[in-house]
């Protein structure tokens, strides 16, 4: 039984950067680092897709975090309002 190898982010980034440079083919890079060529292509695609996040200055993530927090707080307010109304109805009896 073979065990799966796990690659760290630094290794993946180095291989993806080498693939992005275009100096060598994907097969050459894969054989050099002893990984499958499909894996090199996948890491290259992930690097290209993630580049926009590097230059976004975090504003998109901050906005999304803020919207999530507001949504959670509105849900909590609704829950507390329902509980208060339920308890207030019980005191009137």
* List of the chain residues with pLDDT < 70: 58, 93
Question: Domain limits of the chain?
Answer: 9-92
To the nearest whole number, what is the mean pLDDT of the chain?
90
> What is the reported pLDDT for 45?
95
> What is the reported pLDDT for 8?
94
> What is the reported pLDDT for 54?
78
CA 13, 19, 29, 6 torsion: positive or negative? Answer: positive
pTM of this prediction?
A: 0.59
Encode 13-62 in three state secondary structure.
HHHHHHHHHCCCCHHHHHHHHCCCHHHHHHHHHHHHHHHHHHCCCCHHHH
């Amino acid at each position: 039984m073979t065990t799966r190898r796990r690659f760290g982010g630094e290794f993946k980034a180095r291989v993806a950067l080498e693939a992005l440079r275009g100096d060598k083919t994907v097969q050459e890079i894969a054989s050099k680092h002893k990984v499958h060529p499909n894996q090199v292509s996948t890491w290259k695609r992930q690097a290209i897709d993630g580049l926009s996040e590097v230059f976004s200055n975090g504003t998109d993530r901050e906005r999304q975090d803020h919207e999530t927090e507001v949504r959670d707080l509105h849900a909590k307010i609704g829950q507390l309002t329902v509980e208060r109304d339920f308890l207030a109805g019980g005191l009137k009896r």
